[in-house]
Structure 1
């Protein structure tokens, strides 16, 4: 099976501050938005536009190798 990164979850305007059940949210004050996946020990870390971010965040990669295979995260760093 070939694992590919999911589409990034982009922000959208909402007219109510109430979140749907099983949802969470937080403001993004600054930093980087990244998509991370792990498959067969291979870590992929890219910006939402597809820019490779592995060399910039070696500490994230070091932690990500501990995640189970077929893991995908949409994260703010």
Structure 2
């Protein structure tokens, strides 16, 4: 989840990348109706982003995602 700034992306043929815009990077996991939204350091972020937690409740059990908010 940790990005590293580089002047130019050096991507191999067939690889793709995306810019890291300002925002929050988090991992979300959903299992048995329980949703955890955490920073890369393990800080619980659910209370700050209740709309993400509410949407993640709809994910299938045993789902984990990484993304930027």
Does TM-score exceed 0.5, indicating one fold?
Answer: yes
Between the two proteins, the alignment pairs up a number of residues equal to: 67
Aligned to 2:10: 16
Quick one: distance in 1 between partners of 2:12 and 2:27? 26
Q: CA deviation at 1:20?
A: 4.9
Q: CA deviation at 1:29?
A: 1.5
**Alignment gaps of 5+ in structure 2:** none
Q: TM-score, normalised by structure 1?
A: 0.73
**Alignment gaps of 5+ in structure 1:** 1-8
Q: CA deviation at 1:19?
A: 5.8
The answer to which structure has the higher helix fraction is: 2
Aligned to 1:5: none
Quick one: distance in 2 between partners of 1:76 and 1:45? 12
